[in-house]
Structure 1
């Protein structure tokens, strides 16, 4: 046995006998090098071997951890009969709307919504900048800004667009009241009542509300760990009139999946072939756990057909409602709609965010936020593996803080949601993420928060799930 194999065998044995449990950190490369009196290179080879065996995983800027024994549902191929793909009108029942209201209840343990953890946001710095910028720009802070938004903010966003693989100019951008308004402007710019929108399934339910309000139809395309099934999308486009497509390619909500770059390019190319606009929600893109932010689908857009939507709601301040859209060839229409509906986005919060991007250390803040969410998501996954019934599958996201949990076939996730409510815990049952009869054994969890209270809530959920199963 070679030396690195011997080291790997010893650490692997300690994992198997329970010395290091799933989710726990193992010694760093340098620490193990000192402990076992071997070279750093030997330990690196040993850890690479254990990674290949699926026993440990590297977490960016954190170290090596024992892998959970959970299976990721998003990594399995989506199974769908293409003959079943057909557009449907959106009719959200009272139950779905009630669930969406309940999971936003601040009195519940917040495992159901998609909100960020305010304890990790630069609240004091931002509010100081809000006050100072309002004094510094006295008239601008109370006046109508340009309909596209303040130039300084658009310039900072344009400069940062290189991180997502784009090269935007300030005049390519319209500032919006959050990403939801950006998405709504995009839909209204490219669709008319009765049109069909293709979207990955499971579907972020806020999109369904917007589509219902506009009188559009939905074509649900099955999704997996590599994003929307492009083969099914191609079939659906050839057999149905599709006016637009919506995607969350980076750290999808609710799957948490990351679409590979080659699939992003393929998606943009496929839609461009049919001259179909692509509306991209990239609100989680800045929350990659790795050192490099993944590119947006906009990075592969050569025809101006991608309407790129984003915001600072997940990274800075959800209540500031500062988002933006880069609508490509649809700029004139989007700008007209923005002016028609609310003239412009509020000035004070635009000024504060612009100052934070310029002088507030946004990149340092993002690094801190990414590390925290990577750690907390791993802790939440481990808690699910410890407390939930055997056979539970949980997504393994590479960014963001959303977990998709799949229970055994026949499990009643809505029953778990109701039981959790009685215990003061909010979760999102899978049935609200589709118009069809799917995901009844699934649920979405928010891993942005971690505390003793959250772990106790997950343990309670596991006990309730055992009873329901």
Structure 2
């Protein structure tokens, strides 16, 4: 613990020097060895300090040269604004707009800033194919038999092993496998709500959460959410007496990319435990952190079993495999009974392929490469947006995940802009689809989980020009 505090202390000293402009943009930082001697600490402590500063986009590494104060340390653009709590406003649907965005995915010529999955070039497809062949050879009846309702024991064991952020609090018996994270969330809602109940969610929020809640006849309260620190707990406290269940993405939310501080997570779990309100925690992006350590989920602070921790490999490994899971706490038996009634069991094959990859495919190595690429991409995107979008553009600064949230001039309707962009083979997700209210019409979500190449950069610049032409 002392070591952790020490590296953060050194990082904070350098951060203060950057913000006071003692260290200016482009300045070279002292070498790792020089800082080690200055602070009388280990080389590893200084390296951790530098990683922390890199995760905040304050410094950048230049090969064979050292570390420099990053251009994004003094960003020209502000972060997006936070909305206000809306309880009585007219609710509308954006189904047609969502359908339009998804229909565009069939055109392979469109640059997909719109879709929330990593580019195939960033995934270990050859290794997964090898694993598939291996599993077909070794699995009993080549995977044609029924498996236990709770899911592949091999997959659950490996997921539990990978959940080291929970420090051994979960075992394979605590997990139930699902068809991706959305299926996990649906099962959780089925277990703890009935038609007419009220769900509290972030705002803006992934549109799939709104769709499933509306289809289940739930009332939705959208809580103000800060682009950096996540859901506003004070707003939640005001409406907690009306809420039957919460569904939050505490680590690198979609679409904002916000990261809830540990203290907020702890306070949130204590609040919900006191009021006996279940929390469905969507932790899809938790492994895509840009800092030194994976952030803890809310599940870490759960003593009463009220947190239903959902995850999958859709954003890190294999979107189309639809392999997900949930650690449902005290609702496990109900989830298993529901799964039995709805699907009997999951297909064995892809679960075993993912289990094999987690165990033998060097998942940690793949994640390190993916995180590094996504972090570099986020910097490329932010710089290009600063240089080619209007000066009053507001842009999020995520510390992980794969999304940027842009707030444009109030005069711009991104649903109209979307039609113009698609004509030029550029896709993005209009802000209106991330809410049930008439808001975020001047916002957009961009996925930076693409291979950064000349065409992607050019299309991002062209999108900026389209925004300027719309003013």
Q: Corresponding residue for 2:380?
A: 379
Q: Cα offset for 1:162?
A: 2.1
Q: Corresponding residue for 1:392?
A: 393
Q: Corresponding residue for 1:155?
A: 157
Q: 1:73 aligns with which of 54, 79, 88?
A: 79
Q: Corresponding residue for 2:278?
A: 277
Query: How far apart, in 1, do the equivalents of 2:291 and 2:403 lie?
Result: 16
Q: How does 1:3-42 map to 2 (within 5 A)?
A: 20=26, 29-30=30-31
TM-score with structure 2 length normalisation? 0.86
- Determine whether 1:231 maps to 2:234: yes
Contact 2:92 2:438 (C-alpha < 8 Å) held by counterparts: no
Q: Cα offset for 1:60?
A: 12
Per-residue deviation, residues 21-49 of structure 1 (Å, max 9, x unmatched): xxxxx757549x9xxxx8876798xx99x
Q: Judging changes above 3 Å, is the alpha-carbon distance between structure 1 residues 270 and 460 closer, same or farther for their aligned structure 2 residues?
A: same
Query: How far apart, in 1, do the equivalents of 2:422 and 2:155 lie?
Result: 41
Q: How does 1:87-166 map to 2 (within 5 A)?
A: 91-102=93-104, 105-139=107-141, 141-164=143-166
Query: How far apart, in 1, do the equivalents of 2:324 and 2:171 lie?
Result: 16
Q: Secondary structure at the match of 1:286?
A: coil
Contact 1:88 1:217 (C-alpha < 8 Å) held by counterparts: no
Q: 1:459 aligns with which of 435, 453, 461?
A: 461
- Determine whether 1:194 maps to 2:200: no
Q: How does 1:304-383 map to 2 (within 5 A)?
A: 304-383=305-384
Q: Secondary structure at the match of 1:291?
A: coil
Contact 1:164 1:294 (C-alpha < 8 Å) held by counterparts: no
Q: Corresponding residue for 2:427?
A: 426
Contact 2:29 2:68 (C-alpha < 8 Å) held by counterparts: yes
Query: How far apart, in 1, do the equivalents of 2:179 and 2:92 lie?
Result: 24
Q: Corresponding residue for 1:441?
A: 442
Q: Corresponding residue for 1:23?
A: none
Q: Judging changes above 3 Å, is the alpha-carbon distance between structure 1 residues 418 and 322 closer, same or farther for their aligned structure 2 residues?
A: same
Q: Which deviates the most, 414-423 or 300-309?
A: 414-423
Q: Which runs of 5+ in 2 are unaligned?
A: 1-12, 40-45
Q: Secondary structure at the match of 2:163?
A: helix
Q: How does 1:292-311 map to 2 (within 5 A)?
A: 292-311=293-312
Q: Judging changes above 3 Å, is the alpha-carbon distance between structure 1 residues 463 and 432 closer, same or farther for their aligned structure 2 residues?
A: same
Q: How many residues align?
A: 438
Q: Secondary structure at the match of 2:225?
A: strand
Q: Secondary structure at the match of 2:444?
A: strand
Query: How far apart, in 2, do the equivalents of 1:39 and 1:198 lie?
Result: 47
Contact 2:135 2:142 (C-alpha < 8 Å) held by counterparts: no
Contact 1:249 1:280 (C-alpha < 8 Å) held by counterparts: yes
Query: How far apart, in 2, do the equivalents of 1:64 and 1:70 lie?
Result: 18
Per-residue deviation, residues 230-272 of structure 1 (Å, max 9, x unmatched): 111110123x2x2110101100000011000000111111111
Contact 1:256 1:400 (C-alpha < 8 Å) held by counterparts: yes
Q: Cα offset for 1:72?
A: 4.5
Per-residue deviation, residues 329-349 of structure 1 (Å, max 9, x unmatched): 110111111112212221111
Q: Which runs of 5+ in 1 are unaligned?
A: 21-25
Q: Cα offset for 1:397?
A: 0.8
Query: How far apart, in 1, do the equivalents of 2:35 and 2:364 lie?
Result: 34
Query: How far apart, in 2, do the equivalents of 1:90 and 1:463 lie?
Result: 30
Contact 2:23 2:69 (C-alpha < 8 Å) held by counterparts: no
Q: Cα offset for 1:104?
A: 6.8
Q: Where has structure 1 moved over 6 Å in runs of 4 or more?
A: 12-16, 59-62, 87-90
Q: Which deviates the most, 87-96 or 208-217?
A: 87-96
Per-residue deviation, residues 369-405 of structure 1 (Å, max 9, x unmatched): 1111100111011111111011111111111111001
Contact 1:226 1:259 (C-alpha < 8 Å) held by counterparts: yes
Contact 1:373 1:448 (C-alpha < 8 Å) held by counterparts: yes
Q: Judging changes above 3 Å, is the alpha-carbon distance between structure 1 residues 72 and 265 closer, same or farther for their aligned structure 2 residues?
A: farther
Q: Which deviates the most, 62-71 or 244-253?
A: 62-71
Q: Judging changes above 3 Å, is the alpha-carbon distance between structure 1 residues 123 and 254 closer, same or farther for their aligned structure 2 residues?
A: same
Contact 2:90 2:437 (C-alpha < 8 Å) held by counterparts: no
